[in-house]
Amino acid sequence: MSAILSARGLSKSFQGLRAVHEVDFDLAPNQVHALIGPNGAGKTTFVSMLIGRLAPSSGTIAFEGRDITALPDHARVALGMAYTFQITSVFSRLTAHENVALAARRRLGTDRAAVDREVSEALARTGLGDRAQVAAEDLSYGHQRLLEIAMGLAQRPRLMILDEPTQGLAESEIAAFKSLIRELKQETTILLIEHNMAVVMELADRITVLNFGEVLAEGTPGQIHADPAVQAAYLGTEPADA
Give the model confidence (pLDDT) of 95-119 as tens digits. Answer: 999 999 999 998 898 899 999 999 9
Check if the beta carbon of residue 206 is closer than 8 Å to that of residue 34.
yes
The pLDDT tens digits for 174-201 are 999 999 999 999 999 999 999 899 999 9
Given a cut of 60, whether residue 240 has pLDDT beyond it is no
CATH number of 1-78+198-242: 3.40.50.300
Query: If you average pLDDT over every residue of the chain, what do you get?
Result: 90
Total-model pTM = 0.89
Average pLDDT over residues 116-128: 95
User: What are the boundaries of each domain within the chain?
Assistant: 1-78+198-242
User: What pLDDT is attached to residue 88?
Assistant: 57
Q: Is 111 in contact with 89 (CB distance < 8 Å)?
A: no
pLDDT at res. 235: 61
What's the pLDDT tens digit per position in 7-48? 999 999 998 889 999 999 999 999 999 999 988 889 999 999
Cβ atoms 177, 207 nearer than 8 A: no
Across residues 148-155, what is the average pLDDT?
A: 92
